[in-house]
Structure 1
Amino acid sequence: MKHFADISPTAERVVDAAEGLVQLHGYNGFSYDDVARLVGIKKPSIHHHFPKKEELVAVIAQRYTHRFREELLRIDQQHARAPQRLTAYAALFERTYASDRRLCVCGILSAESDSLPDVVTDEVAQFFKVNLDWLTGVVAEGQRAALIRAGAGAAELAEAFLCALEGAMVVGRGMRSARGPARVGKTFLATVLA
């Protein structure tokens, strides 16, 4: 499989266009014809860079995870305490949702996981592992500092927070609501902060 860092500028344009389509329609909701129209190239050119759709979407998820990991590092550098880190984390989801009620790439792909090729589901699982590992560490740190209630384990609270944010995007889109994950994140944090 290709690595996102090794693709050409044209292939990156393909990935950019396809990422937006995934966020709006999921894996099964777009075709190479849709991507070709957006990028302004012929469909065989897309096949040259990504012979199979599963390769393209795996690269999309891989790059999305990498970018998210970079955002988590930025949050760590900019915020010293767990409550501020968790608020900044919710803002990542809000930024995505604020762009035409787009969903998290890996969130929408996970909804289709039973019909996806393994190479894609493996990348989606990696995204959630990265996020849950980071969130668990932040929550545990907050609990040690007595900033987050210790009633539930750090891993359980981390998973609940991630589910709340991903779910807020889906429910918000379903209700055609401009209210996004930041509001749900704020409500969730209000219930767990000490």
Structure 2
Amino acid sequence: MRELVYYVAVSLDGYIAGPDGQFDAFLMEGDHMGDLVRYADALPTAAAEHLGVAQPGTRFDTVLMGWNTYAVGLDGPGGTSPYRHLRQIVFSGSRRAQAENLVVTDADPVDVVRELKQEPGADIWLCGGGRLAGQLVDEVDRLVIKRHPVLFGAGIPLFAAGAYQPGTFDVVDIRTFDSGVAVVEYARRR
């Protein structure tokens, strides 16, 4: 069965973005950047093309985003379809967009994920944001946390507060880098 994988950068104090949605404090240079190839399917399509990185679609074939996460890339090279190599599902109750391989829906994220998990294919990438992650926390099978040595002090938390069940995850892999970034992969204990 397909897994829902929350693959995301986070500050030492647990934020995926600052108070105004900024994420420019995350380290964009350093020895940890080579590790991105391990999750090449999670690179924006235009960035992967620019870097000459192949995106085989074997790790992820679907990406889930809240509207604010999706909106970050609207002015970038990918425009309205930042991950056009993947099926992109954006959750919004009021906004709409049309682009290649993009669906904007107001459906219940839990119902959507449960349906996706029953389909054949590669894993499903939960890109963000914190509110969507809070809604889907009980459906997350694997966490891949890129912990950066920065503090935001406030902002968008890894998981928004919610009425989810306590859960335990086991460490599957830890990779540390001279840049200070640590990538820790967890699998939900069943």
TM-score past 0.5 threshold? no
TM-score interval for Structure 1 and Structure 2 normalised by the shorter chain? under 0.3
Which of 1 and 2 has higher RCO (CA within 8 Å, sep 6+)?
2
Higher helix fraction (1 or 2): 1
Structure label with greater radius of gyration: 1
- TM superposition score normalised by structure 1: 0.25
Higher strand fraction (1 or 2): 2
- TM superposition score normalised by structure 2: 0.26
